[in-house]
Structures are given as C-alpha cells and as structure tokens.
Amino acid sequence: MWDVGASCPRKVKEIQASFPENPSQASESLRGLWTNMFYLVESLGDLLLVERYVGDFVRHDGVPVYKPDLFPGEDNHPSVCPYRTLRFQVYRLNFGERRWEEVKDLGDRVLFLGGNQSVFLLAGELSGNSIYFIDDYWSRMDESYLYGGHDLGVFSLESGVIEPFYPCDSGKIEPPPIWVVPNPC
C-alpha cells in the first residue's frame, strides 16, 4: 500500500496474501466458457477483491457456449453471441491471517465497478448488496462491429441475478460507458 497524497509517495504497508484458495462454484459450473477479471476496491477500511466472470460467447438466453457451437451446420454465417458478464465473486482481505475470505453481503452499500473507476457508496434509493457494472472488457470490445461496450447491468449478491439498469440492446455502444464520480470535497 502506498500513500500517494504526500509530496513524495511512500510505501505504507506490504501485503502478502495468497489468492483465494477454493475455486468458486461459479468457475466450476461454467466449465471454461468464461474469462475472469479482477478489481481491488476499498470499502470502509476493508480491501476487497472482486472477481468478474465474463462469458466469451453467450446466447440471448444467458447460456455460455463454445466458439465452435456458433456455426450452425450448413449455414456459413455464425450465430452472434457477444460476451456478457455472468456473475461476480467478492472476497475481503483478512489482514491478520493474510488470506481472502468470501463476502456474501455488502449490506446497505452498492459497488460501482468499471475500468475507469470503482467505488462503494451507500445504497440510498438503489438496492443495497449490489454491484453496478459497465463494460471494460477492452481486449474484446473492438473485435466485432456488431457489439462492444454493451455489457452493463446490476448484479444482486443475494439472488445472484443480473438485471439491466439502463434500457438498451446488446449492440455496439460507442464510446463505452464510464462512471463519473464527483469529488466529495
């Protein structure tokens, strides 16, 4: 951990924690049809590791498929199955034991997750215990002219369900959405 607020940045603490040991049920059930992305986020003094599971090719009904399954036989045109976030796993760093512990409840807080910024806020009028996310799968975003920047929604840690938070189709959104978080000062 570094203090970058001082005139000369300095190391405050060194953290040596292993990656979460037990594979989540999500990774076992998706059988290699996903890519995972990781985010470190601070919340009320806790350091959280958020793991995002993104299906590389996901049908309209939410089922991830293998790339060869996109070619439906004699038709030379592949099915369009863009990548899509399937679920999240959240861990809290136990500094004393130097290990990650699974978090199943964020309480009355909401996590806004994205490539430009990730932040926890009080839920207020939003549903607590949720993760609002935007598309930051940069390596895949521009590979197709049909989609990219489209992967956004809200994930409930309680139900494990992803719902849209903004009405849009799964087509291309350019530029991709970002979070704009005002400075509290």
pLDDT tens track for 54-65: 887 767 676 767
Whether 157 has a pLDDT exceeding 80, the answer reads yes
Output the pLDDT for position 177: 72
> Tokens in use for 62?
């939410």
Percent of the chain beyond pLDDT 70?
Answer: 63
Poorest-confidence range of 1-5, 136-140, 181-185?
A: 181-185
Residue 184 within a domain: no
Select the more confidently predicted residue: 103 or 18: 103
Single-letter code of the amino acid located at 18: S
Poorest-confidence range of 33-42, 82-91, 122-131, 146-155?
A: 146-155
Asked whether the CA dihedral 78, 79, 82, 86 is positive or negative, the reply is negative
Please name every residue paired with 11 in a beta bridge, in sequence order, or none if there are none: 2
Residue 52 within a domain: yes
pTM above 0.85, yes or no: no
Residue 177 within a domain: no
Output the pLDDT for position 22: 58
Domain of residue 128 covers 21-163
Closest to 147 in 3D by CA, of 178, 174, 167: 174
Residue 111 within a domain: yes
pLDDT band for 84, please (50, 70, 90 cuts): confident
Q: Whole-angstrom Cα distance, residue 67 to residue 58?
A: 10
User: In Å, what is the CA distance from 171 to each residue of 22, 26, 56, 144, 179?
Assistant: 35, 26, 15, 10, 20
Whether 91 has a pLDDT exceeding 90, the answer reads yes
Number of domains in the chain: 1
Residue 93 within a domain: yes
Residue 3 within a domain: no
Residue 183 within a domain: no
Summarize the confidence of residues 77-91 as an average pLDDT: 78
Alpha-carbon dihedral angle through residues 58, 59, 63, 68, given to the nearest 10 degrees = -70
Instruction: Specify the 3-state DSSP secondary structure of 26.
Output: helix
* Distance of alpha carbon 110 from the chain centroid: 13
Output the pLDDT for position 106: 92
Asked whether the CA dihedral 118, 119, 124, 130 is positive or negative, the reply is positive
Residue 28 within a domain: yes
